[in-house]
Amino acid sequence: MPKVPKNYLKKFAVPNFTTLDCGRGCPYRCSFCTIINVHGNQMRYRNVEYIKNYIIDNYKKNKIDYYFFTDDNFARNKNWKEILLALIQIKKEYNINLRFMIQADTLAYKIPDFISLLKEAGCTQVFVGMESLNPENLKSAGKRQNKVEDFQQMVKTWNKAGIVVHTGYILGFPYDTPESIKKDIKMLSNELKIQQASFFILTPLPGSMDHKIMLEKNMILDFDYNHYDSFHLVWNHPNFDFKTMKKIYLYAWKYFYSFPNLVRKLYNSSKYSIRITSNILGTYLWYKYSIQVNKHHPMISGFHRKKSYFEKRSSIPTTIRGFLRFYIKRMIEILFEIIGTTKIVLEFFILWIIYLFLKTTSKLNKKKLFIKSKKKKTIPEFAIEY
């Protein structure tokens, strides 16, 4: 595996974070996915001892203690138990506050000991591809392993372990309408109580089964691959035009991450674990800023974009007029950025106050439970966990 250059990490807001794939491949055949063409359906696995030594070496040299295990489906890695036991051992032997996030399918929560070992090993977040709340959409995408009726129990099970559920949700499946998407987004936020969601527009990526079928049926309208970023509608959808889809896409982000919804998410998360509440605070700031200020998907956005006139394409001539036009436009952009950022910072400050209140309340409640159980000479785990 490639070594992480120390100086390279300094360029990022979180220099103690990196990625690692413990295995490759995915046994499922989702029609919108291209990963199976890159990594295949056959699962392959890295040596557990190698993974263990790599993590130890990364910590010693670069102080890296936060990972995203990028396996398409960590739960289907046959060595998952050995990997998690190795991580637990590392935490104890080297006194490392090791944390990580994984990707897993919607059925992974049913695997015996899986979630309990993830919790002990330091897992803070799981990315789950729910994709849709409409069973017909899931069926059309070949996502037969997703059972909508199990989603609520799945979320609760992960949350009880103090692990944030981050779902991937696709807009624009064949059976979607503007009304159905609005209804589903509200259900996703208010009934399933998902802490974090990332929204994408269904895109027939070259190499996917969707792309093959849509090409054969002449359904693709836009062949500019710059728009194949999952943020643009590029095919002829029966229920959406470009403008309507863009409006629904922005609605999904704005509704899910609206201030009242964020307050509810903090409160609901604190019922399971104050650790979940603290883990999602920073994410909310990042996501709100990306959508409202940068107007980009959070996965391709940062907090402030550096721009220089002299970084333009070499084919564009350098002129005083071009220089002045660029920086006047840039000053206006920064002004709107400051206005948008001010509003978000004020919201975040209120969320922070709410978090501190919930944290204090949680401590007091656990203290009461501890005293009460001590009188009975039994101390429940949840009373002393923090």
Same domain, 204 and 324: no
- Residues 319, 244 share a domain: no
Does a structural domain hold residue 251? yes
Could you tell me the two tokens for 222?
């836009």
* Alpha-carbon dihedral angle through residues 288, 292, 296, 298, given to the nearest 10 degrees: 0
100 and 44 in a common domain: yes
Could you give the count of Cα atoms lying within 13 Å of 70 in the half-sphere of its Cβ?
7
Residues 181, 315, single domain; the answer is no
Q: How many structural domains are present in the chain?
A: 2
Same domain, 306 and 205: no
- Residue 112 sits in the same domain as residue 187: yes
Residue type, 250: L
pLDDT computed for residue 13 by the predictor: 73
8-state DSSP, 89:
H
**Residue 62: inside a domain, yes or no?**
yes
Buried b (16+ CB within 10 A) or exposed e, 283-318: bbbebbbbbbbbeebbeebeeeeeeeeeeeeeeeee
Tokens of 153: 């129990």
Q: Look at residue 379 in the predicted model and tell me its pLDDT.
A: 52
Question: What is the amino acid identity at position 264?
Answer: R
- For residues 225 and 366, state if they share a domain: no
Does some domain include residue 168? yes
Closest CA to 256 of 324, 208, 184: 184
Which residue, of 236, 256, 276, is where some domain finishes?
A: 256
Asked if residues 198 and 210 have their Cβ atoms less than 8 Å apart, the reply is no
107: Cα separation from own chain's centroid: 18
Check whether residue 192 and residue 59 sit in a common domain: yes
Regarding whether 68 and 208 lie in a shared domain, the answer is yes
Q: What is the per-residue pLDDT for 26?
A: 85
Instruction: Identify the sign of the CA torsion 275, 276, 279, 285.
Output: negative
Query: Between β-strands 196-201 and 66-69, what pairing exists: parallel, antiparallel or unpaired?
Result: unpaired
- Alpha carbon distance 231, 297 (integer Å): 8
Residue 329 is part of which domain span? Answer: 298-384
Looking at the structure, tell me whether residues 250 and 168 fall in a common domain.
yes
Look up residue 24 and give its two tokens. Answer: 């490759």
Query: Using CA atoms, how far apart are residues 76 and 105, in angstroms rounded to an integer?
Result: 9
Q: Report if residue 19 sits inside a domain.
A: yes
Angle at 178 between CA 245 and CA 222, to 5 degrees: 25
- Distance between CA atoms of 130 and 321, rounded to whole angstroms? 50
Residue 228 in contact with residue 203, Cβ under 8 Å?
A: yes
Q: What is the pLDDT of residue 222?
A: 94
Q: Are residues 90 and 169 in the same domain?
A: yes
Phi, psi (5° rounding) for residue 42?
-80, 125
Q: Using CA atoms, how far apart are residues 215 and 221, in angstroms rounded to an integer?
A: 10
For the record, the structure tokens of 287 come out as 């996501």
Task: Please tell me the predicted confidence (pLDDT) of residue 123.
Answer: 96
Domain end (from 201, 228, 256): 256
Taking the model in full, what pTM does it have? Answer: 0.86
Give the tokens for residue 106: 């919607």
CA–CA dist 265, 225 (Å, integer): 36
Report which of 124, 23, 22, 15 is spatially closest to residue 61, judged by C-alpha positions.
15
Same structural domain, 163 and 311: no
Distance (Å) of CA 139 to CA 172, 201, 215, 360, 370: 14, 18, 21, 45, 48
Final residue of a domain: which of 256, 287, 316? 256
pLDDT at 51: 94
Q: Is residue 269 part of a domain?
A: no
Q: Is 273 part of a structural domain of the chain?
A: no
pLDDT at 384: 46
How confident is the model at residue 171, as a pLDDT? 97
Residue 290 lies in a domain: no
Q: What is the pLDDT along the chain (386 residues), one digit of tens a residue?
A: 667 777 777 777 788 899 999 998 888 888 999 888 888 878 889 999 999 999 999 999 889 999 999 998 999 999 999 999 999 999 999 999 999 999 999 999 999 999 999 999 999 999 999 999 999 999 998 888 899 999 999 999 999 999 999 999 999 999 999 999 999 999 999 999 999 999 999 999 999 999 999 999 999 999 999 999 999 999 999 999 999 999 999 999 999 999 999 999 999 998 888 888 888 888 898 898 888 888 888 888 877 777 888 888 888 888 999 999 999 999 999 999 999 999 999 999 999 999 999 989 887 777 676 677 766 655 555 444 44
CATH classification of the domain holding 48: 3.20.20.70
